[in-house]
Structure 1
Amino acid sequence: MSAPPPTVLQVLPALGAGGVERGTLEIARALVEAGGRALVASAGGPLVAALEAAGARHIALPLDRKNPAALLAGAASLSRLIKEEGVRIVHARSRFPAWSALMAARATGTHFVTTYHGTYNEDFPGKRLYNSVMSRGERVIAISEHIAALVRERHGIGPDRLRVIPRGVDPARFDPAAVDPARVEALRRAWGLPANRPVVLLPGRLTRWKGQVVLLRAVSLMPEPRPLVVLAGDAQGREAYRAELQTLAAGIEVRFPGPVEDMPAALLLADLVIHASTDAEAFGRTVIEAQAMGRPVIASDLGGPRETVEDGVTGWRVPPGDPRALAGALARALSLPKEARAAMARASRAAVLARYTTRAMQEATLAVYRELT
C-alpha cells in the first residue's frame, strides 16, 4: 500500500466558486481521504465551509491583495505556517500569492508545486516574468495538453518537471440516471421553457470571450422555428454586456437564469450544449460535464476542447467566432436521428469515464506529491 501523503498547504487568493477553487477543494478532500493533512490558505469565501466539512483546515490570510507589502507579508505568514504545521509541500494555484508561496518555500526548504491553470496573457512588458512563478515548481501541473504546450514554449519546462493532469468531473453527480426528473421539471418551470421546443444551453459567465454574441448571431441565421437559447451564467456586474445580448436576442427566445446551482439538471434540459469561446480555454470543464450527462456538445475548435471533443463522435468542433459555421453545426446537430444521438451520448460519457473523472485527477495529483517525499 502507498504511504499516506504528507501535509500539503494549498495557496490561492480566495475560495470562491470557480474552477481553481473547486479543484483546491477536491484535492484537499483526496488528501484527507488518503490519510494526509490538507491545509488551505486564502482570504476565505463560500467554499470554506465545504472545505472544513471535508476534514481540511482553512487558514485565513489576505492573499487576495496585490501590492509589494502584501507579497512580503504573505511570505512571512506562510513561512510561519509551514514551520508550525510541519508542511512538506506548498502547492500554489494563482500567480500573485504564488510569489509569496515560493519565497516561503525557499526560506523553509519546503517542496514547491504549481498548477498552471490558464493561458496567462503577456500583454505588457514584464508579464512573462510575473507569470513565470507558475513554472517554478519542482513539479508544474498543466491542466491540459494545450497548457502543457504553452508552458514548454514559454518557459522551457521539460518532462522531468511537467505533469499533465486534466480537470475532472464527478461521474456520480453528473450521471443522467442519478437525476430525479422532478429536478429537471422544476428548472423547466422556473425558466419558463416549453416542453416542445429544442433548447440550446451555453453555460458560462456573461463575458464577451465566452461567445454568447457568437451563439445569438448563429441562431439568428437559422430558419424558423429557431431553438430556444439559455445563457446560464453570472453577469458579474457586466450589465452593459447583458443589455447588448438582450438587444441581439430580438427575434430569438432567450433565457438569462443567472448562476445555476443544479447543473446536472440544467444539462438534461438541453438538447445541445454550446461552448463558443473566442479565446482558447485552458481546459473547459463545462464540456466534459455535458458529455458526462450524455448531451451533444458543439465546441470552439481551440484550446482544451480540442482534446475533449472528438469531432463527430463525442460532439462537434467549429471555428471560433464564426456564427455561420456554428449555425450550420446547430442545424445538423438538431436534426440528428434519435439512434445517432444515443450513440453519441454513450461515446461521450465513456470518454469522460475513461479520462476525465475527479478521482483520476485526485489520484494523479497525489502521485505528484509522493514523487517529492
Structure 2
Amino acid sequence: MIYLDYQATTPLAPEARDAMLRWMDGPGGSGFGNPHSPHRMGRQAAAAVELARDQVAALFPAGGRVIFTSGATEAINLAIRGSGSTGAVSYSAIEHAAVIDTAETAGRSHVLNVARNGQCNTRQDLPNDTRLVCLMQVNNEIGTIQPTVEWHRKAKANNALYLCDAVQAYGKIEVTGADMIAVSAHKLHGPKGIGALWVRDGVDLDEVQTGGGQENGVRSGTLSPMLCAGFGVAAQEARERMAEDAEHVEKLWHRARDLFEEWELNGSEDARWHGNMNIRPKGPNGGGLDVNRLMSECREVMFSAGSACASGSGRTSHVLEAIGLSAKQAKASIRLGWGRYTTMEEIETAAAKINAAAKAQGIEAGA
C-alpha cells in the first residue's frame, strides 16, 4: 500500500515507538507507575513526563508553558472555553471543526472571510466585541499557510487573545507567536491520543475538565508517561530533522506537480505547506470526477477526498466552498499528503494509478 494521507495522521517514528516501550512494562517492570504518585515509580514516571514536556516545548516560542491534553481537539476546547466567557470568538471560515463547533457553542461568534487563494483576508476588521481570534497556521485540507503574524497583531490591537491551531505546522515549519497554540502528536510521527496546548506566560485559563487538578490545576486527568514520552521524542526528532524533512517534501512536491500538471490546484501554489496537494480536474464541474469510484479503483493508494475528520459525512468541504469552489468542483477534489517516509517511487506509482483511474471515467484532467 502507498500512504498519501499525512494530513490525517502520520506513521509512528521508530524513535518514538522505542521511547514508549519502557513505559508499557507490566508486572515485574517499573514503567507502569502513575506520574502523580509520590513513590519512586511515580517520581520516575513524572520525570519522563517532564522530559517530554521540555522536548515538546522546544518547538514553541519562548515564554510559555505546555499543558498536555488528549489531542488538539481537547486543547482547542480548553483554549476557547477556558479563556473567558465574555465577548465573541472570531474564527476564519476554513478552521477545523474543533474550532468552529466549539466557538459556536461557547457563545457569540463571527466568521472571518477567506480569499480565493486560501488565506484569511487581512483587509477585514475584527468585530469590536471579539475576545478571542482563532486562525490556524497551515490549513489541514488545502495546506495554505495563513497570515498568522498579521492576525495576531490585529487581535492585540483589539485587546483580544489569539489562538493558533498549529496541528499541521508544528514540527514542520517554525510556529509563529500567539497567546495559545494547539498541537497534536500524531501529526508529527508521534502517538495518537495526546496533544498539547501552549499558553503564553501571563495568560490565565479556567479549568474546563475538572477532577484531580493535574496539569497545574488547569486540566484534570492522569497523564500517560508512554504517550508523553512518544510525543516528546517525536518532537525532538522533528526539531532535529526539520530542514531535512522539508527538503525531502519539496522534492516530492515538484515531482507530484509535474505528474499532476493537468489537474487544478486548490489554494495558493506558494503560500502553502508543500506536503499537501489538494487538486481537482479542470473545468466548471471538476470534470465530473466521481471521487468515491476513484478511491475504490485506487484502493492500494491511501489518499483523501477531504479532511479525514469530515469524510463520510456527505457534506461538501466548507474549506473548498470558502475559497469559491462550486459544490461539484469541491466534490471532485482529492487531497494527497506526504512526508518523511514517502518515497519518490511511491509518488510516481500513485500518480500513474490515479491518472489512469480518472481517465477510465472518461475524464481528461486538462480538458
Of structures 1 and 2, the one scoring higher in RCO (CA 8 A, sep 6+) is 2
> What band does the TM-score fall into relative to the shorter chain?
under 0.3
TM-score computed with the length of structure 2 as normaliser: 0.27
